[in-house]
Amino acid sequence: MSDTTLDRAGAATRSPAAADLYRAVWRWHFYAGLFVLPFLVTLAVTGALYLFRDEIDAFVHADVKRVEVQEGVQRVALSAQVAAALAVHPGTAVKYTDPADAGASSEITVAAEGGERLAVYVNPYDGRVLGSLPDKGTVMGTVRTLHSLKYFGPVARGLIEIAAGWAILLVGTGIYLWWPRGQKGGVVSVRGTPPKRVFWRDLHAVTGLFVGGFIVFLAITGMPWSNVWGGQVNAWANGNNFGYPTALRIAVPMSDEHLDHVAPTTWSLEQAQVPLSPAAGSGASSIGLDRAVATFDQLGLHRGYAVNIPSTPDGVFTGSAYPDDVAAQRVVHLDQYTGQSLVDMSYADYGPLGRWLEWGINVHLGQQFGLANQLVLLAACAGMVLLSMSAGVMWWKRRPKGSMGTPPMPRDARVFRGLLAILVVGGIVFPLVGASLLVMLALDWTMTRLRRPRLA
């Protein structure tokens, strides 16, 4: 994407109307970059790290997450593993996470007596407690919280949603500015040397050309996690029918609790209600975690699945699997007294929009295509950092001393009619983005009016 001057060869010098359009696009590319680039760098760095979350967590927390494989040794019963975890950390066991492979430990989430939630790791071969961490307190759990700005509250998360929309605007205006218009150099090659501004202009333009598509893809696939847009689209895409297709439910009562409050889940099932055990109050005993896990194994849930342990008499055992292959995603609710499957939901059962968005989210997370997925997105993240750095250097070299170096206003304000059309569309599709564009347009117009008397 280019922060170039109006004296380039091409349409910008052919007519006043073309020059005005170029000025308007350049000005808003500048504004979009000013707002987006700090977020882009933060998201690129944390996102690049999170692509390798399993590898990094397994290395950093190897003392609790990894165990020596013992061939031919029968594993300790899950009830005994839970008892061992509670003996060290008194409280209530609320979740069990199945070891993803033979060298992984069991993870038991405990609601401790002090009120905090702990992930307690147990060696499944001998039942020994290896240690504990705060729930979601691994290094990569912290990185994910930073990536989503959850540390800073809903306002900051709203800014992420706005930044995603502005990033799309940044790419669109950047492509317009990059368009060759008869220019031969700086299109797919870099001219000059680092001391010269043309080197940074070309580096910025060429990097943006190759990274722009990834920015748009990551912005769109990251939107489902946003506060406003994500919540509204989730309700629209997944409907209000308890979050499940009717054919997958038997006639059981549903609780008021949503799945994302009690178990790990996908975007498509965040609003899905958790069923109640019909046999509650019948005098029967709970089947217990051992039998529930055996049932999930028989049903074929992908290894590494999590099991939510019921905490109320009418609660259910919920098994949820979200492996790298999106097609293997699955959620199963079991009656805690009979072991009967009440709901069995898989990726194939999502609606069309839900399937598309879940696939996009899986690619966004670097999961769907294995190592190739991780390496391609790692290169894209590195390109985003380079894009941001080159924009900063190029702006610093171009700006007049003592000035922000904002690109000039178009001479004919009518050129902004197209921008207003974008505002209308943006406001409908992405409400926060449309509102922010309106605020920016008002500020730009006001500042321009205030400056005019000084320049007269």
Q: What is the pLDDT of residues 229-270, one digit of tens each?
A: 777 777 776 655 455 665 555 567 788 787 877 777 877 787
Mean predicted confidence (pLDDT) in 354-374: 93
**What average pLDDT does the structure give for the chain?**
86
Mean predicted confidence (pLDDT) in 18-40: 88
Q: What is the pLDDT of residues 315-327, one digit of tens each?
A: 999 999 999 999 9
Q: What are 189-195's contacts with CB under 8 Å, separation 24+?
A: none
pLDDT grade for 228, boundaries at 50, 70 and 90: confident
Q: Give me the pLDDT at residue 12, please.
A: 42
CA distance linking residue 294 with residue 282, whole number of Å: 23
pLDDT at 197 over 70: yes
pLDDT grade for 2, boundaries at 50, 70 and 90: very low
- By the 8 A CB rule, do 407 and 173 touch? no
Residue type, 159: L
Give 419's contacts (C-beta < 8 A, 6+ positions apart).
24, 28, 437, 441
CA distance linking residue 222 with residue 368, whole number of Å: 15
CA distance linking residue 269 with residue 234, whole number of Å: 9
CA distance linking residue 110 with residue 344, whole number of Å: 26
pLDDT at 274 over 60: yes
Burial of 335 per CB tally in 10 Å (0-12, 13-18, 19+): buried
Q: What are phi and psi of 307, to 5 degrees?
A: -125, 120
Give 332's contacts (C-beta < 8 A, 6+ positions apart).
296, 299, 301, 318, 319, 320, 341, 343, 344, 345
CA distance linking residue 10 with residue 264, whole number of Å: 54
The token pair that represents 347 in the structure block: 């990726």
CATH topology (fold) of 62-137: Nuclear Transport Factor 2; Chain: A, (3.10.450)
Whether the full predicted model's pTM is greater than 0.85, yes or no, is yes
Angle formed by the axes of helices 197-222 and 16-50, nearest 10°: 60
Domain boundaries, the chain: 11-50+152-226+371-455, 62-137
Q: How far lies 287's CA from each of 2, 84, 295, 315, 365, in Å?
A: 64, 20, 10, 12, 36
Mean predicted confidence (pLDDT) in 207-213: 94
Q: Give me the pLDDT at residue 250, please.
A: 55
CA distance linking residue 170 with residue 166, whole number of Å: 6
Q: Give me the pLDDT at residue 373, please.
A: 97
The token pair that represents 90 in the structure block: 């008194």
> Which residue intervals of 117-245 are DSSP H helices?
139-148, 153-178, 197-222, 228-238
Give 303's contacts (C-beta < 8 A, 6+ positions apart).
98, 99, 100, 101, 323
- By the 8 A CB rule, do 269 and 291 touch? no
pLDDT at 9 over 60: no
Q: What is the pLDDT of residues 370-395, one digit of tens each?
A: 999 999 999 999 999 999 999 999 98
